[in-house]
Structure 1
């Protein structure tokens, strides 16, 4: 397989540490959320995963619309990703994802077709398929 892009991010200190990308463009403190008994005040792995999945999924929708629908602009698509962290019943933890996809300028049936194709295209969706429960809601404006 030909790799189109590769990056490295280093984490030090776990959920109360820092992350830094090899190019220095991403450099953030991490903190355990207050809802989990932490201090809060900084990002956490679930927020970073949600941000990455939302952006990647939106780009997959853009990619699909380029091939199927000419009148959809990049800013006509909004993806909100919600990532949940839950105990898995075996002493570990599991993630869940809810994607809310809104597309302006399409009818509901076309929007749902585009989102189904995007879910098959998105590398995040392909990576988590069968491992993380992903629910998708599609709306149109």
Structure 2
């Protein structure tokens, strides 16, 4: 288990209902409606998988920036998409899967894998789920 030895930031959010409700950031920077990702619901909203995908994409993008600086590669025009899959396991439980798709249009393809390997190793989201869910990272350069 990874243990934080020096904390830089703690962010929080609170949800207010079981299936359909609202989730608010602890600093009120966002307040959004949520609904389950499947089924018919009387309202629209985001869902946990979209929120996780958004957070993971932002985090991986940041670590891609660190990797780019470390390797002397400009990654400013990069784009990260994180698709989070919700499904059922053989034992009837629930599980997640993730596919990260990274576009690096200004980077030669031969450098893309090195950048993605380093960003993957640095990303706290990857480290948090490593060994627990399937994570696929795909990258495309020029």
Instruction: Using the TM superposition, name which of 45-54 and 103-112 deviates more.
Output: 103-112
TM-score, normalisation: structure 1: 0.91
Distance in 2, Cα, partners of 1:91 & 1:26: 34
Aligned pair count? Answer: 137
Calculate the aligned-residue CA RMSD, in Å: 1.3
Distance in 1, Cα, partners of 2:100 & 2:128: 15
Q: Give the corresponding residue for 1:21.
A: 25
Gaps of 5+ in 2: none
Gaps of 5+ in 1: none
- Using the TM superposition, give the Cα deviation of residue 37 of structure 1 relative to its aligned residue in structure 2, in angstroms: 1.1
TM-score, normalisation: structure 2: 0.91
Q: Give the corresponding residue for 1:42.
A: 45
Q: Which aligned segments of 4 or more residues in structure 1 are displaced greater than 2 angstroms?
A: none
Q: How does 1:98-109 map to 2 (within 5 A)?
A: 98-109=99-110
Q: Give the corresponding residue for 1:3.
A: 7
Instruction: Give CA-to-partner distance per residue, 1:38-83, whole Å, 9 cap, x none.
Output: 326210000000000011101100111011124x142x11001111
